[in-house]
Amino acid sequence: MKGSDIMAEKAYKYRIYPNKQQEELIQKTFGCCRFVYNYYLNKRKEYYEKDKATFTYNMCSKDLTQLKKELIWLKEPDKDSLQKSLKDLDIAYQKFFKEHSGYPKFKSKKDRHKSYRTSCTNNNIRFENKHIKLPKLGLVKVRDKQIPQGRILNATISQESNGQYYCSLCCTDVEFVQYEKTSQNIGIDLGIVDFAILSNGAKIENPRFYEKSERKLAKLQRELSRKTIGSNRWNKARIKVAKLQKHISNQRNDFLHKLTTNIVKNFDVICIEDLDVKSMRETDSSLRNKRVGDVSWSEFRRMLTYKSQWYGKKLSVIDRYYPSSQVCHCCGHKDGKKDENVRNWICPECHSELDRDVNAAINILNEGLRILNI
């Protein structure tokens, strides 16, 4: 390992192909985890209503040991997954108390996304010749050849709404070889027509395939809505929808991965706006137009964040209220609110002809470098 390389966490997600027995046990484990979660949520609720006191995580944990003696079937699945379920419940409570988020909810059997987590102790989770060894399940088949690096911390086994099974291995001490420095910096403006506009003038188109799939998805969803809920035909249509949704998200992920890797490879400092999708819904329409409802932008930012960390680059996030599109990047003249439809404008002060989006990206770059004192 070179001195400048970085050690960090990374998750490796694999599609897994459990056999009949393994599938049965996975389903049982989903069920037991949900049961434990709901059972102790109820217990904590009752305990609080009766005694105005908290039934803590440790109390839950002790109680679970007793409960397993009564309910033998709880002994069948991986025992760590049940502990993790208690931990998740505790985290939900902590969030409720600290962040005043909603009160923890009961988990429903109808929930289409099912998962459980289990930690790696004494090498009980490992990658072995086209299989992943998992507690209680044994060797589960994978097709992916990518071998996880570093040390495995835990595994999350999940089933998506299209029926497919996945295993995500969270690893630590993964070594990342740094990208070479390029001495080039970049500002990125989120586009309305284009996906993004770079301060060097490059415009990244919104991927067309995504729109195409969206039309097809709308059609499938209409078909689904005409079927009787719970019927065989309904179920078939539901799986079709889920498969296409998965396909769209795969396409989007590929596009975002290629784009973000490219940016992190080519630029040392990457400057972006802090666009919080939730607050965008409430603020002014110029921000709202920036493709709200599309998760791409937040995922784009998330990828830029961890990739710049992994590969030794810098991400500078500027305040979302910085008026990047209203200031002339040449002279700094502020020209008030710009109509979103005006693509080009001429600065009344220095008479520069400005492309609305590229000007914004340049301002984002300058502001991003300024706050880093570069």
Binding site for Zn ion (CB under 5 A): 328, 330-331, 333, 347, 349-350, 352
Measured from the CB atom, is 265 or 351 closer to Zn ion?
351
> Measured from the CB of residue 269, what is the shortest distance to Zn ion in angstroms?
24
Let me know if 357 is a catalytic residue.
Answer: yes
Of 240 and 333, the one with the shorter C-beta distance to Zn ion is: 333
Q: Which is nearer to Zn ion, 44 or 356 (CB)?
A: 356
Q: How far separated are the first and last CA of the chain, in Å rounded?
A: 29
The Cα 158–Cα 130 span in angstroms is 19
Smallest separation (angstroms) from Zn ion to the CB of 326: 11
Whichever of 280 and 365 has its CB closer to Zn ion, that residue is 365
Strands 6-17 and 138-142: antiparallel
- The least distance separating Zn ion from the CB of residue 167, rounded to whole angstroms, comes to 55
Which residue out of 189, 214, 319, 335 is catalytically annotated?
189
Q: How many CB atoms lie within 10 A of CB 181?
A: 10
Kindly report the length of the chain: 374
Nearest distance in Å: CB 325, Zn ion: 14
Q: What residue spans of 176-321 are helical by DSSP H? A: 208-225, 232-266, 277-280, 285-288, 296-310
Strand pairing category for 185-190 and 196-198 = antiparallel
Taking only Cα atoms into account, the Rg of the chain, rounded to an integer number of angstroms, comes to 25
SS (HEC) of 148-198: CCCEEEEEEEEECCCCCEEEEEEEEEEEECCCCCCCCEEEEEECCCCCEEE
* Contact (CB, 8 A) for 174 and 165: no
DSSP-assigned letters across all residues of 87-152: HHHHHHHHHHHHH--PPP-PPPTT-S-EEEEEE--TT-SEEETTEEEETTTEEEEE---PPPPSEE
Cα gap 303→355, rounded to integer Å: 27
- Structure-token match 């599609």, residue found: 15
Residue closer to Zn ion by CB (options 220, 330) is: 330
For Zn ion, give the closer residue by CB, 239 or 330.
330
User: Quick one: which of 133, 94, 51 has its CA closest to 86?
Assistant: 94
**Min separation Cβ 335 and Zn ion, Å:** 8
Residue 353 among the catalytic residues: no
For Zn ion, the closer of residues 32 and 328 by Cβ is: 328
Query: Which of 273, 284, 349, 353 is the catalytic position?
Result: 273
CA 204/CA 191 separation, integer angstroms: 9
C-alpha span between 242 and 167 (Å, rounded): 19
Could you tell me the smallest distance in angstroms from the CB atom of residue 356 to Zn ion? 14
Least distance from Zn ion to the Cβ atom of residue 347, Å:
3
CB 41 within 8 Å of CB 214? no
| 189 carries an active-site annotation | yes
Catalytic residues: 189, 273, 357
